[in-house]
Amino acid sequence: MSEIYDPYKKIGLKSVVNAATSLTTLGGSMPRAEVFEAMQDASKGFIVIPELQKRVGELLAEMLGAEAGLPTAGAVNALMLAVAACMFKGTELEAHDPVGRSSWTEIIQRLPLNTEGLKNEFIILGDSRSSYDHAIACAGGIRVQAGDKDGVTAQDLMNAFVPDRTAALYYTKIPSTDMSIKEFCDVAHNLGVPAIIDVAPHLTHASIPSVILAAGADLVILSGGKQLGSVNNTGILLGRKDLIKLAHLNAYPFDGIGRGAKMSRETIMGLLKAMEIFVEEDRNAYYSEMLGKSGKLAAKLDALDGITSGTLNEPSLVDDVVPPNYVWVEMNTSKVTLRELFNGLMDGDPMIRPLYEPSFISTEVEGRVTLKVEYLQPGDDVLIVERVKSLLD
């Protein structure tokens, strides 16, 4: 087997076989060459960044069926800006324009600490808590949990609502989330506050944002560095024009909470190119191809003594599409535990990075290690099978 190319060997680092997914900690996705060509082209000239943000936001919104959009430095930055937008709704900040020449620094620098007089509570679902909702607090918001890990009802949301303190309701889509997006949005609107819908890793098909917006979402958070195939530090905020403007006023390059989350002109144009490619791509054909590759890897692993393996589709936010998929592995031997298999894959050289019981992907992964073929390079599948076999011996 020929040696697999490793761009990091020259600086003394151990390479990684990405059999997990587009994890931020592994660098996100693997953008196409055209994305970097667009970034290089953008480096050849200068532009007023707020004007570029506004125009690219308009183009992103047009392609995804939204009223307005804003390129962001990742999904967490999109959430922080969404939080800021909802807190400043109905304030003097609305009089300013991100491409204007007035000054609003003193207003936005109230966040994250000086929120007196602002509605700053955000109701979140108890059955879909994650480390990501910490971004609400980073922006100056207070998280108020409705319900618990066993479920959330509309009445739970209403009980958590305080008219002069609640700024918005926040919903993040993970497998444990029981309430539908439409029901959640209906409750938010009945209470008279925006619904923020976080579907950062779920941009698998171009139709998804419009479906979520049609369900009533006021702001939608998307990752650029995952299924979209943009560079790792990109994201998108879509939604109502008034709220997007307020988010923009809090974003880089202005001196508020978004200042540290810079997006270069190259990164913004790379995100736009990734989206142009994405909306023209046959995503069903893409995931069908991935399913074929997953099936082949699963068959090779299943043939090993002590291993049971197969494929499983991820839940999709829209019907009648081919969803992403992955390979699952279970142990049926007493010689090696599932955790020992996972650690053995991680500890080798190169590191093979799978996922261990990734509940954020599916409810069907308890007692399983999962592997995704999407970012495997030529020869990686052989390496995975050989490593698993060696751990079983």
Mean pLDDT by 10 residues, the chain (393 residues): 78 94 94 98 98 98 98 98 98 97 96 97 96 96 97 98 98 92 98 98 96 98 97 98 98 97 98 98 97 98 97 91 96 93 96 95 93 95 96 93
On whether the CB atoms of residues 84 and 108 are closer than 8 A, the answer is yes
Q: What pLDDT does residue 2 have?
A: 58
- Given 280, 300, 331, which residue is the final one in a domain? 280
Measured from the Cβ of residue 211, the count of other Cβ atoms closer than 10 Å reads 17
Looking at the fold, whether 209 and 272 belong to one and the same domain comes out as yes
Shared domain check, 252 and 138: yes
Longest pairwise C-alpha distance within the chain: 70
User: Is the domain of 257 the same as that of 357?
Assistant: no
Do 185 and 243 share a domain, yes or no? yes
CATH number of the domain where residue 188 is located: 3.40.640.10
d(CA 269, CA 291): 31
Question: 248, 280, 312: which is the final residue of a domain?
Answer: 280
Distance CA 205, CA 113 (A): 38
- Kindly state whether residue 2 falls inside one of the protein's structural domains: no
Give the alpha-carbon dihedral of 43, 45, 51, 55, to 10 degrees. Answer: -70
Report the alpha-carbon distance of residue 393 to residue 325 in Å, rounded. Answer: 29
What's the Cα-to-Cα distance from 12 to each of 6, 7, 30, 156, rounded to whole Å? 11, 10, 22, 53
Cis before 50 (ω within 30)? no
Nearest alpha carbon to residue 35 among 201, 254, 168, 230 = 230
Q: Residue 4 domain-assigned?
A: no
Token pair recorded at residue 307: 């291993």
Do residue 266 and residue 169 come from a single domain?
yes
**Strand 195-198 vs strand 219-223: parallel, antiparallel, or unpaired?**
parallel
ω before 350 within 30° of 0 (cis)? yes
User: Is the domain of 115 the same as that of 156?
Assistant: yes
Same domain, 250 and 323: no
Q: How many CA atoms lie within 13 A of 288 on its CB side?
A: 7
Are residues 185 and 59 part of one domain?
yes
Domain end (from 280, 295, 324):
280
Looking at the fold, whether 217 and 294 belong to one and the same domain comes out as: no
The number of folded domains in the chain is: 2
Buried b (16+ CB within 10 A) or exposed e, 97-118: ebeeeeebeebbbbbbeebeeb
Residue among 276, 263, 238 nearest 38 (CA): 276
Q: Within a domain: residue 327?
A: yes
Per-residue buried b or exposed e for 287-324, using 16+ beta carbons within 10 Å of the residue's own CB: beebbebbeebbebbeebebbebebbebebbeeeebbb
Distance between CA atoms of residues 391 and 349, nearest Å: 13
Residue 14: CATH number of its domain: 3.90.1150.180
Is 1 part of any domain? no
Rounded-to-integer distance, Cα 314 and Cα 14, Å:
30
R_g over Cα of the chain: 22
What order do you get walking across the sheet with 355-356 strand by strand?
Answer: 307-313, 325-331, 369-371, 355-356
For residue 196, give the nearest of 208, 181, 176 by alpha carbon. 181
Distance CA 221, CA 198 (A): 5
> Any idea how long the chain is?
393
Query: Residue 370 and residue 359: Cα distance in Å, rounded?
Result: 11
Contact 111, 82 (CB under 8 A): no
254 & 157 share domain: yes
Q: What strand order describes the sheet that includes 166-172?
A: 68-72, 235-239, 219-223, 195-198, 166-172, 121-125, 142-146
Q: What is the pLDDT of residue 216?
A: 98
- Would residue 3 count as lying in a domain? no
- Same domain? For 292 and 237 the reply is no
Determine the Cα–Cα distance for residues 129 and 216; give it in Å rounded to an integer: 21
pLDDT at 5: 80
Q: How many whole angstroms separate alpha carbon 322 and alpha carbon 311?
A: 14
The verdict on 181 and 312 lying in the same domain is no
Range of the domain at 327: 9-28+282-392
